[in-house]
């Protein structure tokens, strides 16, 4: 029996890209959510945190519906780019970005709101713009929170299963990630291969956690506030 390393590379690729994209888009979102005085902000917060409580298969199923050429969105994409999002790496990337968003968001918001108001006010008084405050004051002070968010997102995506199962279609080298490969090997009663895939996942997760704990003094604050 041949054991392919494709699923493992794919999992790592997915986890790295998800973490990268989420870091980029979650910083402005958290910034706005933390410092805006918009009255109905809580609604946005609730929506963005929905994947935290929603079963991943539900999210996956609706994404599958939206990505299909029968739906206006999927149909429009297909017409414009001759590309179907379902069953593509891009599709499972969108799925895991949506699914892991709350994890990054939680970590960042805790970090952002822990910055003393006086720091921000001082910067304002000195005439700094909002962007300058973000890059010069907030982000440098939030490094542990950002790191914690990235690690959580990465670890979470490695274990991601339901969303990918629903919209991926288990295409080798394209959407068949390790968790799906494990399911298939177990169902085919190839327990040996399943063990190998599983142990690779365990080792990777362990390394990620080790990094987390190496910096635990600064990161633990983020976790402590989450409790």
Residues that bind another protein (CB under 8 A): 61, 64-65, 67-71, 74, 84, 86-87, 165-167, 169-171, 176, 183-184, 186-189, 195, 198, 202, 205, 209, 213, 220, 223-224, 227
Of 34 and 114, CB closest to another protein: 114
Within 114-190, residue ranges assigned H as helices are 117-125, 130-132, 139-141, 143-158, 162-168, 178-187
At its nearest, how many Å lie between another protein and the CB of residue 172? 9
At its nearest, how many Å lie between another protein and the CB of residue 24? 27
Q: Give the Cα-Cα-Cα angle 25, 27, 33 (nearest 5 degrees).
A: 105
Of 43 and 207, CB closest to another protein: 207
Q: Which helix (H) or strand (E) holds 213?
A: helix 191-214
The token pair that represents 153 in the structure block: 């997102």
Looking at residue 3, what DSSP letter applies? -
What residues have CB less than 8 Å from 62, skipping those under 6 apart? none
Of 31 and 103, CB closest to another protein: 103
Of 46 and 206, CB closest to another protein: 206
**CA pair distance 133, 125, nearest whole angstrom:** 11
**CA pair distance 167, 156, nearest whole angstrom:** 18
Of 86 and 134, CB closest to another protein: 86
At its nearest, how many Å lie between another protein and the CB of residue 34? 23
Torsion (CA) 223, 134, 25, 56 in degrees, nearest 10: 20
At its nearest, how many Å lie between another protein and the CB of residue 68? 4
At its nearest, how many Å lie between another protein and the CB of residue 20? 24
At its nearest, how many Å lie between another protein and the CB of residue 78? 9
- Residue 138's nearest CA partner among 159, 116, 153, 156 is 116
Of 33 and 166, CB closest to another protein: 166
**CA pair distance 205, 35, nearest whole angstrom:** 34
């Amino acid at each position: 029996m041949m054991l392919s390393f494709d699923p493992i590379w794919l999992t790592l690729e997915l986890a790295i890209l998800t973490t990268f994209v989420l870091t980029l888009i979650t910083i402005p979102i958290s910034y706005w959510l933390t410092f805006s005085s918009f009255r109905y902000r809580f609604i946005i917060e609730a929506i963005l945190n929905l994947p935290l409580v929603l079963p991943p298969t539900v999210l996956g199923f609706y994404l599958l519906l939206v990505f299909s050429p029968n739906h206006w969105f999927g149909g429009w994409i297909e017409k414009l780019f001759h590309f179907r999002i379902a069953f593509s790496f891009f599709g499972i990337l969108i799925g895991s970005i949506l699914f892991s968003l709350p994890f990054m968001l939680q970590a960042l918001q805790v970090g952002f709101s822990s910055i003393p108001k006086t720091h921000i006010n001082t910067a304002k008084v000195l005439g700094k713009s909002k962007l300058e405050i973000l890059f010069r004051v907030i982000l440098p002070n939030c490094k542990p929170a950002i790191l914690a968010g990235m690690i959580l997102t990465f670890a979470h995506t490695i274990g991601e299963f339901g969303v990918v199962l629903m919209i991926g279609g288990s295409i080798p080298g394209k959407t068949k990630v390790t968790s799906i490969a494990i399911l298939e090997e177990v169902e085919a009663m190839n327990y040996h291969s399943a063990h190998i895939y599983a142990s690779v996942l365990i080792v990777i997760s362990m390394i990620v956690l080790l990094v987390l704990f190496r910096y635990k003094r600064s990161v633990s604050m983020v976790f402590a506030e989450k409790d």
